Amino acid sequence: MRLRPLESLVYWTLRLAKGLDRRDDRLDALDPAAVRCVLVISSTALGDTVLSSAALAPLRRRFPQARLVGLVHGRYLDLFSHCLELDRVVPYHGGWRRFLSTVCVLRRERPEVACILHGNEPQATPLAYLAGARWIAKLPNTSRFRFLLANRDKVLGWSQLGHGMEQRLAVARLFGADTAGARMALPRIPAAAREAEDFLGHVGLAGRCLVGLQCSASSRSRMWPAAAFAALGRQLQERHPELGIVLTGAPDEVLYLQGIARDMGGAVAVAAGGLSLTALPELVRRLAVLVSGDTGTMHVAVAVGTPVVGLFAVSHPAASGPAQDPERHQVIHYPCPDPRVRTKSDDSTWIALIPVEEVLSAVERRLGSPAQGVEGGQV
């Protein structure tokens, strides 16, 4: 058993503080019209924060007089600082890094309410309480810090909450937000659109019909093999010479993606490292279809209205697949029968079973179908 002395110190300190706290934190004692600041926490990965964007407009409507202050991971600050629903975005530095300085920044905002849409413990709930929030809500509420939550009495785990976007909306509904018709949304940033256009011009793909391949993921269990992506790209270009292929990923994955591009050949460009994260949604908007495992880029595509061919094995599309406009997207799911294989593991056995031919057919169906539904909104 690992000893976590800092976590234990925080736990017992907050136990004492909560015991002395005489503020009424019952949700039925909350007057939304009187709230002046709401702290909205979504401090984990890119896809997690994109999913959280669906709750921003409902929260804005529920707290019409309040400033909404977002706490997001520092990597994504530039992108989400353009969200119209957020009055300020504060960077989260991960784990206990700069924890006290983050608390100080948040305390100056004086939030009365903290809505934890997605945040890792043991930091997320203590941050909300130490920031001064009186009413704090989070789902799932299974952590040892749930005594700080206003919704601490009825315990719900991930298995009871359905899709990740629905989990975020359920947290917003705890505060009385109307989430009917809520959608993920990403901001339109003119400078980012120009950057995406300049990138495509620089790599010689301007004006082409584009297929995006998100070849990497947060774990190998979510990654379709590099050889399969290369074969898919070759076959697409043989059958559709007018296509251009764009490989997306993180800057530290450039060498991996360049190897796939070399194996694929033809009109292919590696976007990783070639443009900023802020420009990623604008690049993805310009794709005819994106092929991806369970990744943040997949959720970006869904949010901006780009058709997705989603590849799933260990993770389940009912929990983390395309969250809106199902008619746009196609999910290929080869379920892993071994419950010991976790969604964040190095076991790529099961996703590797997805045949190139099945993915090729799915992409061609998306290419041959006019876009349906409506594009993701703006925030």
Q: Does 344 have pLDDT greater than 90?
A: no
Residues 269, 165 within the same domain: no
Q: Please provide the average confidence, as pLDDT, over all residues in the chain.
A: 94
Segments of the chain assigned E as strands: 37-42, 67-73, 88-92, 113-118, 135-138, 209-214, 243-248, 268-270, 289-292, 308-312, 330-333
Residues 244, 168 within the same domain: no
Residues 227, 165 within the same domain: no
Residues 215, 145 within the same domain: no
How far, in Å, CA of 301 to CA of 308, rounded?
Answer: 7
Final residue belonging to a domain, choices 123, 148, 174: 174
Task: Please report whether residue 185 resides in a domain.
Answer: no
Final residue belonging to a domain, choices 174, 205, 226: 174
Residues 12, 126 within the same domain: yes
Q: Cβ–Cβ contacts within 10 Å for residue 371, how many?
A: 15
Confidence at residue 331, expressed as pLDDT on a 0 to 100 scale: 98
Task: Please report whether residue 112 resides in a domain.
Answer: yes
Final residue belonging to a domain, choices 115, 146, 174: 174
Residues 209, 265 within the same domain: yes
Enter the pTM of the model.
0.94
Q: How confident is the model at residue 4 (pLDDT cuts 50, 70, 90)?
A: confident
Q: Does 378 have pLDDT greater than 60?
A: no
Confidence at residue 345, expressed as pLDDT on a 0 to 100 scale: 81
Task: Please report whether residue 377 resides in a domain.
Answer: no
What's the number of domains the chain is made of? 2
Q: Half-sphere exposure of residue 33, counting CA atoms within 13 Å on the CB side? A: 0
Residues 132, 55 within the same domain: yes
Q: Which two tokens stand for residue 83?
A: 């969200």
Confidence at residue 2, expressed as pLDDT on a 0 to 100 scale: 64
Confidence at residue 163, expressed as pLDDT on a 0 to 100 scale: 97
Residues 155, 196 within the same domain: no
Q: How confident is the model at residue 291 (pLDDT cuts 50, 70, 90)?
A: very high
Confidence at residue 189, expressed as pLDDT on a 0 to 100 scale: 95
Confidence at residue 376, expressed as pLDDT on a 0 to 100 scale: 33
Side chain identity, residue 341: V
Which of 150-154, 186-190, 371-375 has the lowest average pLDDT? 371-375
Residues 165, 233 within the same domain: no
Residues 42, 108 within the same domain: yes
CATH number of the domain where residue 92 is located: 3.40.50.2000
pLDDT tens-digit series, residues 100-132: 999 999 999 999 999 999 999 999 999 999 999
Structural domain of 47: 5-174
Task: Please report whether residue 205 resides in a domain.
Answer: yes
Residues 144, 207 within the same domain: no
Residues 158, 243 within the same domain: no
Q: Does 372 have pLDDT greater than 80?
A: no
User: What percent of the chain is predicted at pLDDT more than 90?
Assistant: 91
Task: Please report whether residue 212 resides in a domain.
Answer: yes
pLDDT tens-digit series, residues 272-284: 999 999 999 999 9
Segments of 19-112 assigned E as strands: 37-42, 67-73, 88-92
Average pLDDT on 27-56 reads 97
pLDDT tens-digit series, residues 239-269: 999 999 999 999 999 999 999 999 999 999 9
Average pLDDT on 45-63 reads 98
Contact 314, 221 (CB under 8 A): yes
How far, in Å, CA of 130 to CA of 121, rounded?
Answer: 14
Task: Please report whether residue 182 resides in a domain.
Answer: no
Task: Please report whether residue 179 resides in a domain.
Answer: no
Q: Does 375 have pLDDT greater than 70?
A: no
Task: Please report whether residue 181 resides in a domain.
Answer: no
